[in-house]
């Protein structure tokens, strides 16, 4: 059975810290891995990764995929209170149209 596991489930850090969120997967016919940020409402798209070893960056956020070890990490440097959110990871496969979602990591940034 295909699955996506995120860790940790929750994390509390202080403003200015650097955090690393993990997403591991077991998905047949892997195609892509996507990261989303969910504040109070709609998940918003952050990154899509398809190739191993190529880092994607957007400001203080970056992400990388390891297709050999079947995981991805999302790094956030110099965290701010506005980074507080649930971060969701999803994996797409060649075999169907569905994304397989992890349960999310709840990140709380204390001032």
Partner 1 sequence: NAGVTQTPKFQVLKTGQSMTLQCAQDMNHNSMYWYRQDPGMGLRLIYYSASEGTTDKGEVPNGYNVSRLNKREFSLRLESAAPSQTSVYFCASSEFASYSNQPQHFGDGTRLSIL
Cβ-based nearer residue to partner 1, 2 or 15: 2
Please tell me the distance from the alpha carbon of residue 99 to that of residue 36, in angstroms, as a whole number: 12
Is 94 among the residues that bind partner 1 (CB under 8 A)? yes
Residue 90 makes contact with partner 1 by CB under 8 A: yes
Inter-residue contact 86 to 107 (CB < 8 Å): yes
Closest CB to partner 1 among residues 64, 104: 104
> How many H-runs (helices) and E-runs (strands) does the chain carry?
0, 11
Show the CA angle centred on residue 22, arms to residues 89 and 38, nearest 5°: 40
Q: Is 11 in the site for partner 1 (CB under 8 A)?
A: no
Q: Per rule CB under 8 A, is residue 43 in the interface with partner 1?
A: yes
For partner 1, the binding residues (CB under 8 A) are 4, 31-32, 34, 41-45, 48, 50, 88, 90, 92-94, 96-104
């Amino acid at each position: 059975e295909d699955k996506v596991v995120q860790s940790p489930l929750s994390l509390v850090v202080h403003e200015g810290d650097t955090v690393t969120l993990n997403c591991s997967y077991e998905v047949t016919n892997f195609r892509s891995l996507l990261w989303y940020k969910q504040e109070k409402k709609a998940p918003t798209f952050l990154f899509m990764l398809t190739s191993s070893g190529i880092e994607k960056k957007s400001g203080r956020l970056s992400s990388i995929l390891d297709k050999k070890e079947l995981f991805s990490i999302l790094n956030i440097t110099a965290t701010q209170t506005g980074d507080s959110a649930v971060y969701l990871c999803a994996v797409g496969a060649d075999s169907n149209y569905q994304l397989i979602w992890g349960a999310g990591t709840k990140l709380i940034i204390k001032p």
